[in-house]
């Protein structure tokens, strides 16, 4: 039973470390994005469309969703209609940071508890 709890503690340590790699990967893909709702008249008159909310850091991996390149402030524009039509749900970087942090806490606590249980267990007596 002691080996089982040590194995759990080691797996928790690996999970804890994996959260750093996952978070780093998503941070590398994130861009400052302004979501734009394009109307029929916007296309007709060459208008850029109506901004939805404020720019935020999102992870969107479909390059066809982007409208041109970044502006002078480094903000990319994304067509909200394209996202809806292709069922693409962009993930905010804040959400990724929250969940990786929560997983770190969970893995850390579970690993420490499993290690303490394994450490406090007495070895089986061989009678």
Q: Are 51 and 34 in contact (CB under 8 A)?
A: yes
The reported pTM is 0.77
DSSP state at residue 69:
S
Asked, for residue 126, whether it belongs to a domain, the answer is no
Q: How many residues does the chain have?
A: 127
Where do runs of H (alpha helix) occur along the chain?
2-29, 40-45, 80-85, 93-120
3-state class (DSSP) for residue 34? strand
Is position 32 within any domain?
yes
The answer to whether position 43 is within a domain reads yes
Question: Each residue of 17-57: pLDDT tens digit?
Answer: 999 999 999 999 999 999 998 876 666 666 678 888 899 99
Q: Note down the domain range covering 99.
A: 2-120
Q: How many helices (H) and strands (E) does the chain have?
A: 4, 4
Count of structural domains, the chain: 1
**Which H helix or E strand runs over 12?**
helix 2-29
* Average of per-residue pLDDT across 101-127: 87
**How high does pLDDT run on average in the chain?**
89
Percentage of the residues of the chain whose pLDDT score is greater than 70: 90
Decide if 127 is inside a domain. no
């Amino acid at each position: 039973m002691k080996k089982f709890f040590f194995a759990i503690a080691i797996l928790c340590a690996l999970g804890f470390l994996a959260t750093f790699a996952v978070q780093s990967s998503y941070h590398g893909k994130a861009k400052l994005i302004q979501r734009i709702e394009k109307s029929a008249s916007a296309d007709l008159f060459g208008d850029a469309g109506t901004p939805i909310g404020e720019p935020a850091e999102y992870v969107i991996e479909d390059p066809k969703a982007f409208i041109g390149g970044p502006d002078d402030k480094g903000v990319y524009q994304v067509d909200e209609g394209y996202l809806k039509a292709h069922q693409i749900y962009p993930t905010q970087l804040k959400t990724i940071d929250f969940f990786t942090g929560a997983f770190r806490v969970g893995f850390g606590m579970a690993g420490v508890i499993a290690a303490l249980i394994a450490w406090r267990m007495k070895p089986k007596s061989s009678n």
